[in-house]
Amino acid sequence: MKFLSLTAFAVLVLGCSTPKQTVSGTPDPTTGNAKPIPGKIKDNFDKEGHRGCRGLMPENTIPAMLKALELGVTTLEMDVSFTRDMKAILSHEPFFNHEITTKPDGSFVTEAEERNLNIYRMDYAEVLKYDIGMKPHPRFPRQQKMPAVKPLLADVIDSAEAYASEHHLAKPHYNIETKSEAFTDNVYHPGPEVFVDAMMAVILSRKISDRVIIQSFDVRTLQYMHQKFPGVKTALLIEDFDKKAIELQLQILGFTPTIYSPDYKLVNQELVEKCHAKNMLLVPYTVNDVKKINELKAMGVDGIITDYPDLFEKPVKVKIQNSK
Ligand code: G3P
Ligand code: CA
């Protein structure tokens, strides 16, 4: 961006209270949803709470989502997995992660046993016997401890919508990740088409699809989304070790998603400008440092995904270095 060609001091104020406006446009005939307008970048910065607010509350739980809303996020980021009885629930892994899980007998899940606690092989009634809020988190010491279970996606949406209404907040947006990989199809989760159809059934039943982004590292689920639900926004997730050119990544995907969402360590000025030139928003993950948030914002990213949405509330002065 032009102002970065000079060394300058900038005062960056985050946490503005203006409700986010995502890209919008005319209704799509298939879904009735708003399609992105080519060339239009959304008006306001998108403050996204990662797994709700993992730094502050147990991840991917209803309390984490409500706390994130209280802190002023515009979008709730979350991960979807499936149970054997095909309930869409929030879970980053399709099994009970040893870092966060207490078993029904009160002991902690060990790393050796976690992958055998396969959620896709359990009915939801069984899943509810495991606690994911009480074990102290080794990497998030500020996380509040409380009894918590893996919630139904439907209940998360209902709770967030009710909270927003009760507190006179703007309706939240939902950045929902399909947690699937080709080599674990039908072992840890359904195949991409069944996965997406079952997840979208919940989203459509709640009539929030115009406020939903479906994100994934698994291009198969995005490709199916694009084909079956073309009016719903999509985000391509990029791992930090993925060194392919953006053009190749998009060629593999086969279409231009609404959002390009890389690990924040991959973001530089050139990437921001490339995304915007391709009519994509750029929303990096997972940024937990206020100085880095402000640097990325100065580069022109369209949003930030963080475990600590309370960081958005802290306006600070940062020195913008000349990157050229
Ligand atoms: O939103 C992107 C981010 O959530 C992807 O990383 O592993 O935390 O799901 P992960
Ligand atoms: Ca995620």
Contact of 292 with 264, CB cutoff 8 Å? yes
pLDDT score recorded for residue 14: 29
Contact of 174 with 213, CB cutoff 8 Å? yes
> Does the CB atom of residue 177 touch ligand 1 within 6 A?
yes
pLDDT score recorded for residue 168: 97
DSSP 244: S
- Testing ligand 1's pocket by substitution, the residue of 217, 237, 308 carrying the most ligand atoms inside 8 A of its CB is 237
d(CA 34, CA 208): 11
User: 286-297 burial string, b = 16+ CB within 10 Å, else e?
Assistant: bbbebebbbbbb
Integer-rounded Cα radius of gyration of the chain: 19
Measured from the alpha carbon of residue 262, the closest ligand is 1
> Does the CB atom of residue 302 touch ligand 1 within 6 A?
no
- CA of residue 285 to ligand 1 center, whole Å: 7
- Testing ligand 1's pocket by substitution, the residue of 285, 304, 305 carrying the most ligand atoms inside 8 A of its CB is 285
d(CA 303, CA 45): 5
pLDDT score recorded for residue 44: 82
Domain ranges of the chain: 3-79+158-313
d(CA 260, CA 281): 6
pLDDT score recorded for residue 322: 56
pLDDT digits (tens, 9 = 90+) for 24-47: 333 443 343 444 433 334 458 999
CATH class of the 3-79+158-313 domain in this structure = alpha beta
Residue 179 alpha carbon, nearest atom of ligand 1 = 9
Contact of 304 with 3, CB cutoff 8 Å? no
pTM assigned to the model:
0.86
pLDDT digits (tens, 9 = 90+) for 98-136: 999 999 999 999 999 999 999 999 999 999 999 999 999
One digit per residue, pLDDT tens: the chain, 324 residues? 332 332 332 222 223 333 333 333 334 433 434 444 333 344 589 999 999 999 999 999 999 999 999 999 999 999 999 999 999 999 999 999 999 999 999 999 999 999 999 999 999 999 999 999 999 999 999 999 999 999 999 999 999 999 999 999 999 999 999 999 999 999 999 999 999 999 999 999 999 999 999 999 999 999 999 999 999 999 999 999 999 999 999 999 999 999 999 999 999 999 999 999 999 999 999 999 999 999 999 999 999 999 999 999 655 555 655 544
- CA of residue 214 to ligand 1 center, whole Å: 12
pLDDT score recorded for residue 199: 98
